[in-house]
A and B are shown apart, each in its own frame.
Chain A
Amino acid sequence: MLFPLGFGRKNSVRGKFQRRACVAVVLAVVGLAAGCGDPDDDDDPCAPDDADGVIGGATTFDLTFDGNGFSQMILTAQNSARVTLTLRNDGTTPHSFVIDCIPTPNTNGCPTTSCFPAESSIPPVMSRASATAIFEVPRAEGIYYFHSDVAGDTPGPCMAGAAGCGQFIVK
Chain B
Amino acid sequence: MHNARRRSAALLTTLALALGAGTATSKDEQDVPRASSAPQDEASPLRDGKEPASPDPAAAQPPSAVPAEIVVRGTGWPSPRGLGDIRVQRDQLEASPRQQTSEMLSAAPGFFVDHEDGEGLANDVYLRGFDLEHGSGIEMRMGSLPINIPLHIQGQGYADANFIIPEVVRSIRVLEGPFDPRQGDAAIVGSAYFDLGVARRGYRLGTSYGSFNQIRVVGIAAPAEADPDTFAAFSARKTDGFGTNRAGFSASTNAQYAVDLGPRDRLRTFATAYVAQSDLAGVVRQDDVDAGRIGLYDRYPYFAEGQSVRSSRIILGSTFEHAGPRSARFELTPWFMWTDFRSRRNFAGALETAQIDPRISARGDLFETTNREAAVGLVSRLRSGTLRPSDAIEVVTEPGIYVRAAHTDQTKSLLAPSTLMAWDRRIDAGIFSFDLGAYFDVDARFFRRLRISGGPRADLLFIAVNDRLVNDLPPLPGASPGARRNVAGVAPGFRVTVEYPIATWFVPAVSFGQGFRSLAAEWLTPGSKPYSEVLSVEAGVRWLIPDERLTARMSAFETRVGKELVFEATSGGLETQSRSVRRGIVASALAKPVEWLLASTSVSWTRAEYATRVPGVSHYVPNIPAVLLRADVTARGRVARLAGSPLMGRVGVGYTLLAGRHLTDTVMGPTYHVVHAGVAVRREAVEISIDAYNLLDSRGADDEQVYVSNWSLLPGQQPASMGTHLTAAPPRTLLASLGLYF
Contact = CB atoms under 8 A, between A and B. Distances in A.
Interface of A: 2-7, 18, 21-22, 25, 28-29, 32-33, 35-36, 39-40, 42-44, 47-62, 64, 71-76, 79-80, 82, 84, 86, 139, 143, 160-161, 167, 169, 171
Nearest to B565: A53
B616 to A, nearest CB: 3
Contact of A53 (B566, B581, B616): B566
Interface of B: 350-353, 355, 357-359, 361-362, 474-477, 500, 502-506, 508, 510, 537-541, 545-546, 554-558, 564, 566-571, 575-578, 581, 583-585, 607, 609-610, 612-619, 621-622, 664-665, 706-708, 710, 717, 719-722
A76 to B, nearest CB: 5
Given A51-B622, A61-B353, A61-B358, A143 B708 contact: yes
B566 A54 contact: yes
Contact of A47 (B351, B477, B505, B616): B616
Nearest to A81: B477
22 contacts: A5-B505, A18-B502, A21-B500, A25-B508, A43-B618, A44-B617, A47-B617, A51-B706, A52-B566, A52-B569, A54-B568, A56-B477, A56-B613, A58-B474, A58-B475, A59-B353, A60-B355, A71-B361, A76-B351, A76-B353, A80-B613, A86-B358
A69 to B, nearest CB: 13
Given A48-B614, A76-B353, 17 more contacts: A3-B503, A21-B500, A22-B506, A29-B540, A47-B614, A47-B615, A47-B617, A50-B610, A51-B622, A54-B575, A58-B476, A59-B355, A60-B474, A74-B353, A74-B361, A86-B358, A161-B719
A43 B617 contact: yes
A74 B351 contact: yes
B614 A62 contact: no
A3 to B, nearest CB: 6
A52 B568 contact: yes
B154 to A, nearest CB: 16
A114 to B, nearest CB: 13
B580 to A, nearest CB: 8
A63 to B, nearest CB: 8
Contacts of A55: 577-578, 612-614
B556 A167 contact: no
A28 B568 contact: no
Contacts of A7: 503, 506
A51 B506 CA distance: 43
Given A60-B474, A171-B570, A21 B502 contact: yes
Given A51-B664, A54-B575, A29 B539 contact: yes
A50 B358 CA distance: 26
A78 B537 CA distance: 33
Q: Which 8 A-B pairs have the closest CB atoms?
A: A44-B616, A62-B358, A32-B556, A25-B508, A53-B566, A36-B583, A47-B616, A5-B503
A33 to B, nearest CB: 5
A2 B476 CA distance: 65
B708 A169 contact: yes
Contact of A32 (B359, B537, B566): B537
Nearest to A19: B502
A72 B585 contact: no
Given A58-B474, A60-B358, A62-B358, A32 B503 contact: no
A72 B617 contact: no
A29 B586 CA distance: 11
Contact of B720 (A3, A18, A25, A169): A169
Given A18-B502, A50-B610, A53-B577, A32 B557 contact: yes
Given A55-B613, A76-B353, A62 B618 contact: no
Most buried by B among A22, A71, A79, A171: A171
Contact of A42 (B355, B616, B719): B616
Nearest to B504: A5
Most buried by B among A6, A56, A61, A74: A74
Most buried by B among A64, A161, A167: A167
A33 B584 CA distance: 7
B382 to A, nearest CB: 35
B568 A59 contact: no
Given A44-B616, A82-B477, A161-B719, A21 B508 contact: yes
B619 A50 contact: yes
A76 B617 contact: no
Contacts of B607: 36
Most buried by A among B357, B581, B584, B617: B617
